[in-house]
Amino acid sequence: MTQFDLLKRPRRNRKSPAIRSLVRESFLRPSDFVVPFFLIPGENRREPIAALPGIDRVTIDLFIREAELLHSQGIPAVAPFPVIDPSLKDLEGSEAWNEEGLLQEAIRRIKAELPSLCVIADVALDPFTTHSHDGWVNAEGYVENDLTLSALCKVGLSLTRAGCDILAPSDMMDGRIKALRDSLDAEGFTEASLLSYAVKYASSFYGPFRSAVQTKLAFGDKRGYQMDPANSREAIREVLLDEEEGADMVMVKPALPYLDVLTKVREATTLPVGAYHVGGEYAMIMAAAEKGWLNGKEALYESLTGIKRAGADFIFSYATAQISEFL
């Protein structure tokens, strides 16, 4: 007997690694992850990305080689993002639906070599427009919703013809899921999947990604189409609309500042729910680790576990190489 008459001692369930593993509620597995890649033209070339330590821009041949290794370790999917030469950008973003474009070529080549690897391609115009907005901009600098939809449909068709498994519209235009679904079905692509970035916030955590793809907003910001970080009811509205419009999966992005939203979305839909642990979320941990202020691998693993626990079925993450020893 001690002087403390404690009937309940939760620590008993933590007293050994064996017991902790018996009672563990959430797990990270290689099959939870989608790994983003940044693509550049040419062969056998890589460029480090200062704002994303450990991540390089790579040519298609290196992309395929690295994706093959990840796939052999159980990673089911990759998300290639093209870095577009400024000479190919225009006001409309027309390079986005060039059948011979960098992304289209990458998809054709990787699906030919690794047919069982799932390729998820972003549908948005920002890497391709001179102003780096996600859509068509009018004389007042406003991103035009419905004109943008017709462009997105051309992009979606061209990526699907290249062999893309899942289209992931990230532009936040209204009605894009229905527009894409209709245009895919009209061409007979009834098997093409749509993963909607349904809940995408206007976030400062996209900074490292924008330096990776070398885009820079010529004016304004994305608050007229991406969501206000202060809102969560609106997130459910976006998800339910995309579900009605025919989305196969939905995503919340960024992840850590929005775990409450992720949990609500998980409860509001029966669709699979993804989360994007974005560049800024990865970069701030890597930066603190470089300074010796925290253990980067452990902090990344803890962050990703939290995202899983909050309700994510899968996670887009730059951190799989960093946490591979834990998986």
Reply yes or no on whether 308 is catalytic. Answer: no
200 labelled catalytic:
yes
Q: Does position 206 bind ligand PBG by CB under 6 A?
A: yes
DSSP conformational letter for 9: -
Q: Tell whether residue 122 is a contact of ligand PBG (CB under 6 A).
A: yes
Closest separation between CB of residue 38 and ligand PBG, Å? Answer: 10
Binding flag, residue 62, ligand PBG (CB under 6 A): no
Contacts of 289-292 with C-beta under 8 Å, sequence gap 24+, read 290/53
CB nearer to ligand PBG: give 32 or 122.
122
Set 89, 253, 264, 308: catalytic member? 253
SS3 244: helix
279 part of the interface to ligand PBG, by CB under 6 A: yes
Closest CA to 298 of 315, 286, 308, 310: 286
Please select the residue that binds ligand PBG; options are 34, 77, 120, 124, rule is CB under 6 A.
124
- DSSP string computed for 79-137: EEEE---GGG-BSS-GGGG-TTSHHHHHHHHHHHH-TTSEEEEEE-STTTBTT--SSEE
Residue 256 Cβ vs ligand PBG, minimum distance, rounded to whole Å: 12
Q: Name the catalytic one among 200, 222, 264, 308.
A: 200
128 binds ligand PBG (CB under 6 A): no
Is there binding between residue 170 and ligand PBG (CB under 6 A)? yes
Give the containing element (helix H, strand E) for 166.
strand 166-169
Cα three-residue angle 192-234-149, rounded to 5 degrees: 40
Cβ 124 to ligand PBG, closest distance in Å? 4
Active-site positions read: 200, 253
Contacting positions for ligand PBG (CB under 6 A):
122, 124, 126, 134, 170, 206, 209-210, 278-279
